[in-house]
Amino acid sequence: MLRKYSNSRSLRDNIQLGVLTAFSAGMVNVASVIIFFAFTSNVTGHYAILAEEIAKGHWYQVSVVFAWILLFFLGSFLANFIIINLNRKNAYIAHSLPLLLEMLCLITVGVYGQYYYQETLTETEMLIGFMLFAMGLQNGMTASVSNFVVKTTHLTGLTTDLGILFSMFTRKEFRDNPTLIGRAKLLLSIAVSYLSAGVLSAMLYHRLQFRVFFVVSFVIVVIICYDYSRLRLLQLFKKRRNVGKALEAKIEAIHEDEEVTEQVA
């Protein structure tokens, strides 16, 4: 999921990345709606609120909403900045670092909300900002790694693409197109994962409250550890294969030496 980059990725890589990151985004968004009555996995609604507050002349609210949008932007900016600057050195670290930063933000929200939150307006605005930054990091990472194929923090564009694809599937020539079929599988997987995570988040919140963000952080750990284990297995396989090749070369050299010795004798 995290090792490969851009056009070198397969459909399976993108589905795995999309499903797991959509799961975390769905949990975060539903939890934020329940707790703060605010969406944090996208900024579409925040642009509408920003326009409304500008029209009303509520400049404090304008500054807050603008700050939220800016934090989402900065999260996406930082994720891609890390990837394009570290990718050549170590692709796995470059792709997993934004997820680690996202996890740190969500753990901060969980700890503060569970043990220190007094339900003041300032605290609410601050925690929403943390979650928007975290979702910007995730959306920037998935889009950058997948060459803009996977976006998992909001479903507006995804639903539009699905509508277009299903209309195309009314024609046999498009139903037989493996690229379009793969695209539909990816989008449906992301949508189902996002919705399932939202349902789970709503159910868990009544028992865990802010600790639901620890569950989301655990999902991110699974993403990072799964890819790391695959990376280690691949390295081990390559190492054993190289050792095998070296052993075969050594045996061949010994046989050649024996043949030369026999010819001399």
pLDDT at residue 259 above 70?
Answer: no
Q: Structurally, how many domains does the chain consist of?
A: 1
CA pair distance 69, 42, nearest whole angstrom: 9
pLDDT at residue 232 above 60?
Answer: no
Mean pLDDT of 129-149: 91
Comparing 114 with 241, the larger pLDDT belongs to: 114
The answer to whether residue 106 sits within a structural domain is yes
The answer to whether residue 241 sits within a structural domain is no
- Give the range with max mean pLDDT: 39-43, 156-160, 166-170, 234-238: 166-170
Query: Containing domain of residue 36, as a range?
Result: 6-233
Note the pLDDT tens digit of each residue in 203-227: 999 899 999 999 999 989 888 887 6
CA pair distance 137, 116, nearest whole angstrom: 25
pLDDT at residue 240 above 80?
Answer: no
pLDDT score of 250:
59
CATH of the domain at 48: 1.20.1250
pLDDT score of 118:
94
The answer to whether residue 249 sits within a structural domain is no
Tell me how far CA of residue 3 lies from CA of 14, 68, 166, 225, in angstroms: 11, 31, 31, 12
Q: Using 50, 70 and 90 to split pLDDT, how confident is the model at 42? A: confident
The answer to whether residue 242 sits within a structural domain is no
Mean pLDDT of 93-106: 92
- Give the range with max mean pLDDT: 151-160, 163-172, 234-243, 245-254: 163-172
CA pair distance 148, 59, nearest whole angstrom: 35
The answer to whether residue 92 sits within a structural domain is yes
pLDDT at residue 233 above 50?
Answer: no
Mean pLDDT, the chain, whole residue set: 86
CA pair distance 15, 21, nearest whole angstrom: 10
The answer to whether residue 165 sits within a structural domain is yes
Q: What is the CA radius of gyration of the chain?
A: 24
* Plot region of 37 (φ>0 → left; ψ -120 to 50 → alpha; else → beta): left
Q: Are 20 and 219 in contact (CB under 8 A)?
A: yes
- Give the range with max mean pLDDT: 42-51, 92-101, 145-154: 42-51
Q: Residue 33: is it exposed, middle or buried by C-beta count within 10 angstroms (0-12/13-18/19+)?
A: middle
Note the pLDDT tens digit of each residue in 166-190: 999 999 999 999 999 999 999 999 9
pLDDT at residue 111 above 90?
Answer: yes
Q: How many CA atoms lie within 13 A of 48 on its CB side?
A: 5
CA pair distance 265, 247, nearest whole angstrom: 27
The answer to whether residue 191 sits within a structural domain is yes
Mean pLDDT of 7-22: 84
CA pair distance 178, 191, nearest whole angstrom: 20
Burial 73-92, CB ≥16 within 10 A → b, else e: ebbbebbbebbeeebeeebb
